Homo-oligomer: A and B are copies of this chain.
Amino acid sequence: MVEASKTSKAERFTYGMVGGGPGSFIGAVHRAALHLGGNASLVCGCFSRDIEKSRETAAELGLDETRVYTSFAEMAQAEAARPDRPDFMVVTTPNASHYDACRAFLLQGFSVMCEKPLTVTSAQAEELKRLAQAHGCLFGVSYVYSGHVMAKEARRLIRDGVIGDVRMVMAEYPQEWLIDVVEGENKQAGWRTDPALSGSANCVGDIGSHIENTVAYMTGLRITRLLANLDVVGEGRSLDTNAEILLRYDNGASGCYWCSQIAAGYDNALKVRIFGTLGAIEFEQEQSNYLKLTLKGEPPRLLSRGNGYISAAAAAYSRLPSGHPEGYHEALCNLYDQFLQAIAAKRRGETVEAADYDYPGIEMGIDGVRFIEACVESSKQGAVWVEL
């Protein structure tokens, strides 16, 4: 496994971005995370379908105006033709256009970091995998929570057998922000609750998929079957805003996920609890500098990032001493740290094995889409069990 190298700033990278224009959220976060890393420069972009807005963003970012594009198709072609073509492309548009954007870049041989969920159908996701392989491109899916130091420590503890064999997983991701239907829902709510932009699921796709990925990352378990109840709450809405999901994993463990966008009092409260034969682990992304570890028969311990008892492998991702909080930006920056290392290795002509790098790759992207499809399918049939 390649170690975290966040302090090596000597090697430089360039990238382009699709999405991230005025009023968007996650595009600016990717830029900030890459700024924090300090070794990647944005060189081109198509930030909005409205070229004027795109230029506005470009100007604000101090971008060369000749490298602002009206479409990702145009951008893919023009940038591929340059001698100084960017090292990778970042796709942060609404879900429904991920496939077309990624496809365009892969066909031109660009490595891609794409937002989750990867695509609207798993067939599309599989096709992207095929294209990435065919064109020798690296592919990352920005499931951000696996970038937290303490999420990495959780995975390490589980792998090392500290909590024994996993028996149950209880995970949830409640939010409040869609509790009311707002006239002309805001930009964020708007596309997420619109099937044309979001795909077949809203809540399960946007945050349920984060539960799925975080659990998969920490435990390495695969879901064999699930049963989902999706509630569409809010007049005029056609997609789910609340879901309860029961699961069975390949080792026989059972699981229960809950995600909601209509839960008063919760901001972004991803919480994962993993129970094994010897102990349990509890991680909350809003408290991402901490990890609760309990060994059976002993009092719970609250591990804090930055302390000497954290494993070297996880600690390598820390930027700040204990008690100096890191957050969302640092987690995303950690994904990019590994992604950029893989790109650097590829640039040097080395053979890159995705398994050697600790960023969510296209397999996780595919699993995420399959999870969403299975939830939608189960719920449509009346909340019955479906196999994966």
Q: How far is the CA of A36 from the CA of B256 in the complex (A)?
A: 37
Chain B residues in 8 Å Cβ range of A122: none
Quick check: is A327 within 8 A (CB to CB) of the other chain? yes
CB atoms of B298 and A276 under 8 A apart? no
Quick check: is A272 within 8 A (CB to CB) of the other chain? no
Q: How far is the CA of A25 from the CA of B244 in the complex (A)?
A: 36
CB atoms of B304 and A302 under 8 A apart? no
Shortest distance from the beta carbon of A332 to any chain B beta carbon, whole Å: 10
Quick check: is A77 within 8 A (CB to CB) of the other chain? no
Which of A26-34, A216-224, A368-376 contacts the other chain? A26-34
Shortest distance from the beta carbon of A104 to any chain B beta carbon, whole Å: 27
A42-81, CB < 8 A from B: 59-62
A1-36 interface code vs B (CB 8 A; 1 in, 0 out):
000000111101000000000000100110110011
Quick check: is A268 within 8 A (CB to CB) of the other chain? yes
A278-322 interface code vs B (CB 8 A; 1 in, 0 out):
111010011111001111111111111011110000000001111
Interface bracket on A: 35 or more
Chain B residues in 8 Å Cβ range of A123: none
Q: A168-B242, A244-B256 are in contact. Are A294 and B264 (CB under 8 A)?
A: yes
Chain B residues in 8 Å Cβ range of A289: 286, 327
CB atoms of B320 and A309 under 8 A apart? no
Chain B residues in 8 Å Cβ range of A129: none
CB atoms of B323 and A326 under 8 A apart? no
CB atoms of B299 and A304 under 8 A apart? yes
Q: How far is the CA of A60 from the CA of B38 in the complex (A)?
A: 11
Q: How far is the CA of A10 from the CA of B59 in the complex (A)?
A: 7
Quick check: is A190 within 8 A (CB to CB) of the other chain? no
CB atoms of A175 and B323 under 8 A apart? yes
Chain B residue nearest to A243 (CB atoms) is: B254
Chain B residues in 8 Å Cβ range of A278: 264
CB atoms of B296 and A280 under 8 A apart? no
Quick check: is A269 within 8 A (CB to CB) of the other chain? yes
Quick check: is A385 within 8 A (CB to CB) of the other chain? yes
CB atoms of A268 and B322 under 8 A apart? yes
CB atoms of B263 and A321 under 8 A apart? no
Quick check: is A142 within 8 A (CB to CB) of the other chain? no
Instruction: Please list the residues of chain A having a beta carbon within 8 angstroms of any beta carbon in chain B.
Output: 7-10, 12, 25, 28-29, 31-32, 35-39, 59-62, 163, 167-168, 170, 172, 175-177, 179-180, 227, 229, 231, 233, 242, 244, 246, 254-256, 258, 260, 262-269, 275-280, 282, 285-289, 292-304, 306-309, 319-330, 382-385
9 contacts between A and B (CB under 8 A): A9-B61, A177-B322, A227-B227, A264-B275, A265-B294, A288-B325, A297-B309, A299-B309, A302-B302
